[in-house]
Chain A
Amino acid sequence: MNTPPGRDPERLGAAPGDVKPLREAPPIGVQHAQAERLLKAWKTPQGWRYWSAVNNSQVGLWYTAAAFAFFLFGGILALLMRTQLAVPGNDFLSADFYNQIFTLHGSVMMFLFAVPLFEAFSIFLLPQMLGARDLPFPRLSAFGFWSFLLGGTFVCGSLFFNAAPQGGWFMYPPLSSQYQPGIGNDIWLLGLSFIELAAIAAAVEIIVGVLKTRSPGMRINLMPLYAWYILVVAGMILFAFPPLIAGDILLELERLLHWPFFDPDRGGDPLLWQHLFWIFGHPEVYIVFLPAIALVAMMVPTFARTPMVGYGWIVLAAVGTGFLSFGLWVHHMFTTGLPGISLALFSAASEAVAIPTGVQLFCFIATLLAGRVVRSVPLLFVFGGLAVFVLGGLTGVMVALVPFDFQAHDTYFIVAHLHYVLVGGAVFPVIAGFYYFFPLVGGKKLSDRLGRITFWLLFIGFNVTFLPMHLSGLLGMPRRVFTYAPNLGFDGLNLISSIGAFILAAGFAVFVWDVLRPKGKQPYAQRNPWGAGTLEWTAEMPDKPWGIRSIPEIDGRYPLWDQPNILRDIDEGRFYLPDAEEGKRETLITTSVDAQPIQCLRVPGPTWLTLFAALFTGGLFIFATFHLWWVAVASGVLAFAIIIAWLWTGTALIPEKEEKNVGLGLRLPLYRSGPESVGWWAMFITMLADMTAFAGLVFGYFFYWTIHDDFPPDPSPAPSLFGLMLLGAVLLLGSWGLTVLVRRWNQGDRRAAFYGGLPVAVALAVAGGATLLAGPWHAGLDPVSHVYPAMVWLLVLWTVLHVAVGVIMQGYCLAQRLAGRMTARYDIEIRNVTLYWHFVALTVAITVAVIAGFPLVA
């Protein structure tokens, strides 16, 4: 077992700059003492305090369980739909309730299962694969999880009050804005926006995790393929989710305050929603697909007993798909009457994306052919998934052709296509992943026998359900209908689909039983039960909470195959950080390309702050849905206070010493700031997402310009706007410039300049924000009257909100320095705040250029 396939250890050992493990193991007594200190530092809280844990193993597990529970809920909704559609003219469900059910089915599967499950798996697996003890921001993961759980429960729970959203998972206005006045669509908009924020938080965590927490020596050409895929997916989230958040803001403003973004009578246009939704919605498909295929990329080499063939080609596929997937969104809008040339552009890109998608499948096949395949349940699911996915991919190429799509649009053919893609491309690989990675959870395997039963029930059930839908779609059966007339040729096909759905459900029932059945008498699996080559399988069975006993030096892509004795060396603490002398949780930070160690990062431990922060942030959204404004505001204030407490007590702490010996003769700093710190990168990445949302709003402005002759109106309804906007910009850019100076003064320890400059920067920002607000206010622009004033107000409010947050940050730095928690040397806060202000300056410049400048050139 674990034979190094085709590798020459001598060659690997000779790599320049390479570090060898300790030649002699520390004495047994020392090893025990080290292990004890590590266990104490990483101890999982017991009893009811268990829920205050923030470690990636716990949060990842909860996340997975919650996402899977939502999946089962979504599945039950699907069964209700199939029961209703089994026979023509059925009255099992009312039309109204059916609308709620199909809306929730789609929304739950996409927002509460597919995306969160990838976050969950990543939080759980990524540190293990990279040889890190935890991700760099464990509390952020925990906050994201609690937000997700709360938001998801809220959205799903609405069904039991007959108050669920009914607008379809894509929520098209004007149906969702003018014809569905109930609370359901607000629940969708606010509840899911809240979850989208959690997804962005996870993306930040994952990007920084992949780039900065790899084991020393795990160069960019050696990192596990899973990490490549996840890096791409997290990057996609940054650019895909924010446009939807921008759209949510527009739609909620229309529903709540009657700002007419999608109302044609007052200059709005429902098509803008479709653009914003699908700029999110199409990349979303790949955000779901790539992490699942990433699991396949980890399993295939294990069972082929050989390294992946075409590692570089797979990286090409992941990165290439990530980009191309953003050029596909209009293929959901082929029938909206856009010019033929626009359709053609998107059709061309939709065909092009088939290339990288195909490349990775060929790599998998080549690897399986090159190796000696070992039969296993996970591999069975991989094969089944690939077969189903290829069929879905082929119908995808069909519907990417405009003329065919005109015929198939909004029919069951599309339902069949998307389920083949998502179930084949995501659900089957995920189930394979469950079977494969399950031993990492409790140290025990799932049953092979039950696994095979599950597979055949799922595979047969799935095809019986969805294959006939191609036909019923081609025969003309529309989507999203709660019933149909008899004798149109749909009857038999629908009955077959419904029978298939219950076979499929039986498969999931067997699977759930396999996961939940008591395994007390079953022996623990042996370590590395599948004979894999990657680091996550260094875990003991059952695993210890420390993640990894000592952080190894990596020499190849499959360390367990390539590096002899690596398990022994890790276990005996012959590598980095084998101890926790100060009783703190620590992991290594390395450079992003070559993974050279540059810092020993202390990560925070258990806390209730994240749970309560999520609870009250959720309260802000949830109470606002019910128009309980004061309660919502109170909840928001509490959330704000808790988040400040969290930052104050838990982030950028000044260490008791400058450096620390991390083992193997290496001393690393405990504190780094600016672009060398993980927090700076987190801020940078977050602000990229923020700017993307802003770009979505600006896109809206120019969208209205293209469809109207008088947008912006000429002559301007507000001549005074120009001067006030310009003045506001000058003040705000002044505040930004001063913030940059203050950062330097702090660095030079010029206390007087620091304490004098920062309050002036605050004052300038407050004055600038007020001046921006005064612009449309003084001009008497009424956002309800027409889309132009609404757009101006929206851009101004967005900018002022960012200024307000910037002011809080400036105040925070002032307080930190006063309290002695920030100094000239330990200056993470002011560095990050300055970075934030760079983005605020950009936002201000664009807003003012658009509002005051564009009418001059239009």
Chain B
Amino acid sequence: MQGGLTMERVAEKNENLWLMVVSPGIWAAHFLLCYSTTAVWCAKVVGRDGPLGEARMAIAIYTVLALAGIGIVGWIAARRQSYGSETVPQAFDTPGERHRFLGFVTLLLSALSAVATAYVGLTALFIQTCH
């Protein structure tokens, strides 16, 4: 599948920067969901000394979904990153290099987002009440 033709196709592909920010975006959405769920739960449902109960379950579900989403993005990114034959540092003026570069950065961002999401999700493992 290598060769000039494929290169041209990558060049013409209407590539944009949005995929890069999907994984961190999922992290942000996960973070906000966890925060607002627990805030509303503790303020409106069980009160300040109540148990977290189902809210912990909700955080667990959010976390699994978020990690799955980040995983998918990471997988797409990994495929782009390994496109063609070159490797890092993607420093040449070719469409293939740019394609691999965006894949590489997206992959790294997915890894960081996964770690950060896991950090945030872990809180529900340790904390059991609204206190």
- Give the interface of A toward B (CB within 8 A): 11-12, 15-18, 217, 219-222, 307, 310-313, 315-316, 319-320, 322-324, 326-327, 339-342, 344-345, 347-349, 351-352, 355-356, 554-557, 592-594, 706-707
User: CB < 8 Å: which of B28, B48, B92 contacts A339?
Assistant: B48
With both beta carbons as reference points, the residue of chain B lying nearest to A353 in the complex is identified as B116
Q: What B residues does A219 contact at CB under 8 A?
A: 93, 97-98
- From residue A259, how far is it (CB to closest CB) to chain B in Å? 23
Known contacts A341-B130, A593-B15, A706-B44: does B120 contact A556 (CB below 8 Å)? no
Q: When the two chains form their complex, are residues A313 and B28 in contact, meaning their CB atoms are under 8 A apart?
A: no
User: With A220-B98, A356-B112 given, is the CB distance from A15 to B90 under 8 Å?
Assistant: no
| Cross-chain contact A16 with B92 (CB below 8 angstroms) | no
Q: Which residues of A contact B35 (CB under 8 A)?
A: 342, 345
Q: Is the CB of A17 within 8 A of B11?
A: yes
Q: A323-B27, A355-B112 are in contact. List 20 more A-B contacts (CB 8 A).
A: A17-B95, A221-B98, A307-B91, A312-B101, A319-B21, A319-B24, A327-B120, A340-B127, A341-B130, A344-B123, A345-B34, A348-B123, A349-B116, A349-B119, A352-B119, A352-B120, A356-B112, A556-B91, A593-B15, A593-B98
**Nearest B residue to A706, CB-CB:** B43
Interface of A is mostly: helix
Within 8 A of A (CB), among B81-118: 88-95, 97-98, 101-102, 104-105, 108-109, 112-113, 115-116
Considering the chains assembled together, what is the distance between the CA atoms of A221 and B86 in angstroms? 14
**Chain A residue with the shortest CB-CB distance to B38:** A341
From DSSP, what is the main secondary structure of chain B's interface residues? helix
- CB proximity of A403 to chain B, nearest CB, Å: 13
Whether A221 contacts B108 in the complex (CB less than 8 A), given A307-B91, A352-B116, A593-B15, comes out as no
- Cβ B93 vs Cβ A555 within 8 A: yes
A16 lies within 8 A of B28 (CB): no
**Once the chains bind, are A345 and B31 in contact (CB under 8 Å)?**
yes
- Assuming the contacts A219-B93, A345-B38, asked whether A16 and B52 have C-beta atoms less than 8 A apart, the reply is no
- What is the interface of chain B, defined by CB distance below 8 A to chain A? 4, 7-8, 11, 15-17, 20-21, 24-25, 27-28, 31, 34-35, 38-40, 42-44, 48, 52, 55, 88-95, 97-98, 101-102, 104-105, 108-109, 112-113, 115-116, 119-120, 122-124, 126-127, 129-131
| B115 in contact with A352 (CB, 8 Å) | yes
- B93 vs chain A, min Cβ distance (A): 4
Quick check: A320 and B112 within 8 Å, CB to CB?
Answer: yes
Q: Check A15 against B27 for contact (C-beta < 8 Å).
A: no
Contact A323 B92 (CB under 8 A): no
How many Å lie between the Cα of A221 and that of B81 in the bound state?
A: 13
Asked if B89 contacts A592 (CB within 8 A), the reply is: no
Cα distance A17–B4 in the bound complex, in angstroms: 12
The CA of A307 and the CA of B92, in the complex, are separated in Å by: 13
Contacts of A16 in B (CB 8 A): 4, 7-8, 11, 94-95
- Contact between chains at A312 and B88 (CB < 8 Å): yes
Q: In the bound complex, how far is the Cα of B127 from the Cα of A65, in angstroms?
A: 51
CB–CB A15/B93 < 8 A: yes
Which residues on the B side are within 8 Å of A316 (C-beta)? 105, 108-109, 112
Give Cα A221 to B95, complex, Å: 10
Known: A339-B130, A341-B38. A320 touches B94 (CB 8 A): no
Which of B24, B42, B44, B102 is A320 in contact with, Cβ under 8 Å? B24
Complex CA–CA separation, A229 to B105 (angstroms)? 14
Given contact pairs A316-B105, A327-B31, A345-B31, A557 touches B91 in the complex (Cβ within 8 A): yes
